[in-house]
Structure 1
Amino acid sequence: MKSRNVVIVGGARIPFSRSFTDYFGKTNHELAVPPLKALVERYDLKGERIGEVVMGAVIGHSDEIAIAREAALDSGLDPHTPAYDVRQACGTSLEGVIAVANKIALGQIEVGIAGGVDTNSDIPVEFTRRFTHYLMRLNAAKGGWKRFTQALKFRLGMLKPRIPAVVERRTGKRMGDHAEMMAKDWKLSREDQDTLAVESHHKAAKAYEDNFFDDLVIPFQGLDRDTFLRPKTSVEKISSLRPAFDRENGTLTAANSSPLSDGSAAVLLASEEEAKKRGWPILAKIVDAQTAAVDFVNGEGLLIAPTYAVSEMLQRNNMKLQDFDFYEIHEAFAAQVLATLNAWESEEYCREKLGLDKPLGSIDRSKLNVHGSSIALGHPYAATGARITATLGKLLSQEKGKRGLISICTAGGMGVTAILESPE
């Protein structure tokens, strides 16, 4: 079966907002619907059955088991449109893009939507498993006496709440702790991290001034832009902040790390033939994608997996790291971005970890995250991949013959990457 070209038609997202503020109490479902509705209305899909909708969330309640399906049902699409959830930490919506693109490439569907949503402002607060098991046994008890004796087993300590924490199950460390370890391993300075963070804010603010995000960000809850932007920030201003993870010797701070964020994003994909037939814009073509994982328990950096994925993808496409006009590297932490760049430049790392006979080399930093990234715009975990895909797609649509590289690190020591190209 011959593979078909898959193209990005358009993207939409709500403004990303600081957690526990503007979207406080809003559910994943409430945040997931607006970007889908925007794409349905913009591309005249109301009442139409499309190939599929793929979405996901990293953090959700037990009743949020079908976010994609429920959002699709409220989007205006024909109810016969199938949908399913995916979850791969911060790579969730890029993984969704890959899943939809693969089906389009194989001819199984013509049109699909991929996206993601997350909110820390409606996280599930659970009781202990001990209390859960107590209630289950109480509910299952037959007869008054058995129910009474089970009820007597209640202990007040069972009611101690369990608030979800973003920690690695196998190490017990927060992602920031792991990023701090990477910063020390790669000898990253605080100044370099702060500089990258400040650049992210300045570039994102300039993109808003130039109206770049006008058709990508849709108004929601009285907001029309992300709430994290600090256009006048400087290295001098943020240099006084205390380290956020290693209080004594750390270099990661709240300013050079992505903030806790709420938001959602979605991308419309189609076969090239279908897009042309419908008269839809073609922003970019999806060329290839790759995922990878590392053994972070035994010494590898938790967030370094994209270096593996990019290397494998480049080899498969007979390309060099320098063959790109734009690099979109998710800014989970400034340290993660800098560690990735250093790894690609390291002869020892590329030889021993990636199996290469020479380093991948350096990139032109002026091509990196040219309109800002997660530090300045925010990072609702599952939404970031769709945000980046739509942003890079629009960038590539502005000039022919351009290429873009996406690199996203995730919890669990994984990485999700992709190559996009300008339309012909």
Structure 2
Amino acid sequence: MNNSKKEIWLASGLRTPFVKENKELESIGAVDLSVAVLNQMKRKEQLNPDYVAWGTVVPNLEYSNIARDAVLESEVNDETIAFTTTMACSTSLLSTLQLASMLKDTEVGIAGGVESMSNVQMGLSNKTSKWIKRFPKLKGFFNKLKWLGGLFKFKLYIPPGVNRVTGKSMGQHAEITAQRLNIDREAQDKLALRSHQNYFKAKEKGFFEDLVFPAFNVLEDLIPRKNTSLEKLGTLKPVFDRKSGNGTLTAGNSTLFTDGAAGVWVAGKDRIDELKTGYKAQLVDWEMAGVNIEEEGILMSPSFAIPRLLERNNLTYDDVDLWEIHEAFASQVLSTISNLENKTHLKKVGTASEMGKFPIEKLNPNGSSIAIGHPFGATGARILSQTIKELHQMGKGKKALVSVCADGGLGAVALIEN
């Protein structure tokens, strides 16, 4: 929530092309992807940020503050303050809100994030790590010989890809929510198809040309599928519930593991005019929420944050001219909309206003994560840059709402106006 009432502005940044894991960017690590974005953003604007707030979701032993490492390896001045943040898929939306809370009127920063799913690191179990670290302290041949017995308990740690508390993946949780809210398969496939179709409509108009730069010999996004169809999507088998006969989430209506990085500019009122890009918008307000995972669904926090944000700003759903809801899964988007239109749910949220029917025709007009891809730490910045440019094209006085859900029953939403 923007308690400070400071005048904070956003400007579209840049991103690498997004590609499927273990493909064209498999040899490029998260730091190098981040450096590429920072360099391109500084070169394009000829402006050095006072701050870099950057994030990644999957940890790596090669760095702890990836933001600072990226700054030191980039063309950004070493004097730039850089810090790392994370909140699962909301990471680079969170980094934007953190800068918005920190910046003075005379300061400017870059928020963003990265994910290199091709380079998810395997490690040693804690017991194996402790066993190895004991060796240098051992004295005497027999103690070292005894130590070797631990070799039979040697164990790797492989990131399980599930929520630590529930033991379920995001897909499994999304499947549970979809079945509880009766989100059917056809509706999910239609939304997924729409994401690809909208992406290519935007691409043909040149929408992404000044938002995406060629990087590491990759010229463009490689995940969108121009030849997909409802019939092709309908042939895919459920991934997260294969046994009950009720599974609806497939590889076609879910996001893919993705490599990529993205950044967005955040500026105080006295610095925004220094940015040359014409794509600028004011960050009006924001809201975050946390929910009970088992009761509400692990990705359903935006259905709590959105009504609170709109009521505080005296807005209905239709008053918002552009909706950008991150597509982790088509079912998650449709589940969110289902909750937003449910009066019982809104009563639980604590809002009293009549919000109306959700205007789905205003949703993700240039495609979203199902089509483009979802590098966890980069998605928020990617969505913000697209939103700001689309608002610019729509004309003055238009409002947009950006929503990104996150693992752990968390999420963040932002209200933007040009």
Query: What band does the TM-score fall into relative to the shorter chain?
Result: over 0.9
Contact 1:350–1:359 (CA<8 Å) still a contact in 2? no
Tell me, yes or no, if structure 1 residue 319 matches structure 2 residue 315.
yes
- Does the aligned pair in 2 maintain the 1:347–1:358 contact within 8 Å? no
The answer to whether 1:61 aligns with 2:60 is yes
CA contact (8 A) 2:311 2:351 kept: no
CA distance in 1, matches of 2:9, 2:101: 11
Q: Find the counterpart in structure 2 of residue 210 from structure 1.
A: 205
Per-residue displacement from partner, 1:184-217 (whole Å, max 9, x unpaired)?
A: 0110110000000000000001111110000100
Alignment of 1:101 with 2:117, yes or no, is: no
Number of the residue aligned with 1:127: 124
Unmatched 5+ stretches in structure 2: none
After the TM superposition, which residues 33-44 of structure 1 pair with which residues of structure 2 at under 5 Å, given as runs? 33-44=35-46
- The Cα of 1:360 is off from its aligned counterpart by 3.1
- Asked if structure 1 preserves the Cα contact closer than 8 Å seen for 2:317 and 2:359, the reply is no
Q: Conserved in 2, the CA contact under 8 Å of 1:330 and 1:373?
A: yes
- The letter for the 1-side match of 2:23 is T
Give runs of aligned pairs for residues 354-393 of structure 1, distance below 5 A.
354-357=349-352, 360-393=355-388
Under a length normalisation based on structure 2, what TM-score does the superposition of the two structures give? 0.95
| Partner of residue 296, structure 1 | 293
Superposed displacement of residue 363, structure 1: 2.0
Q: Which moved more, 1:125-134 or 1:141-150?
A: 141-150
Secondary structure in 1 aligned to 2:254?
coil
1:175–1:278 Cα change, 3 Å = closer
| Residues in 2 aligned to 1:391 and 1:150: alpha-carbon distance in whole angstroms | 60
* Alignment root-mean-square deviation, CA: 1.7
What residue is the counterpart of 1:285 in the other structure? 282
| Deviation sequence 1:284-331 (CA, Å, 0-9, x none) | 11111111110114x221110011111221222222222111000000
- Of all paired residues, the percent bearing the same amino acid is 37
Alpha-carbon deviation of 1:82?
0.8
Q: Give the secondary structure class of the aligned counterpart of 2:110.
A: strand
| Distance change >3 Å, CA 206–CA 146, structure 1 → 2 | farther
Give yes or no for the alignment of 1:151 onto 2:147: yes
Partner of 2:306: 310
Contact 1:304 1:413 in 2 (8 A): yes
Q: 1:220 aligns with which of 205, 209, 215?
A: 215
* Shift, 1:128, TM fit: 2.0
Q: Does 1:414 align with 2:416?
A: no
Aligned counterpart in structure 1 of residue 27 of structure 2, from 25, 28, 31 = 25
Q: Distance in 1 between matches of 2:251 and 2:278?
A: 39
Deviations 1:6-60 (A, max 9, x none): 2122310000000011111321101111111111001112xx4x32101010013
| Partner deviation per Cα, 1:77-110 (whole Å, 9 max, x = no partner) | 2111110000000000000011111222x54x51
The amino acid that maps onto 1:397 is H
Residue 396 of structure 1 deviates from its aligned partner by 1.0
What corresponds to 2:18 in structure 1? 16
Of residues 338, 341, 348, the one that matches 1:342 is: 338
Q: Distance in 2 between matches of 1:94 and 1:117?
A: 12
Instruction: Give aligned pairs, total.
Output: 413
Moved more, 309-318 or 207-216: 309-318
Letter of the 1:32 counterpart: S
Q: Do the aligned partners of residues 231 and 359 (structure 1) sit closer, same or farther apart at CA in structure 2, a change above 3 Å counting?
A: farther
Q: Tell me the TM-score normalised to structure 1 length.
A: 0.93
> Which secondary structure state, in structure 1, belongs to the residue aligned with residue 317 of structure 2?
coil
Query: Which residue identity lines up with residue 96 of structure 1 in the other structure?
Result: S
C-alpha separation in 1, matches of 2:329 and 2:303: 16
Amino acid at match of 2:172: D
Native 8 Å contact 1:7 1:282 kept in 2: no
> Which of 168, 177, 181 is matched with 1:182 structurally?
177
SS in 2 for 1:273: coil
Shift of 1:232: 2.2
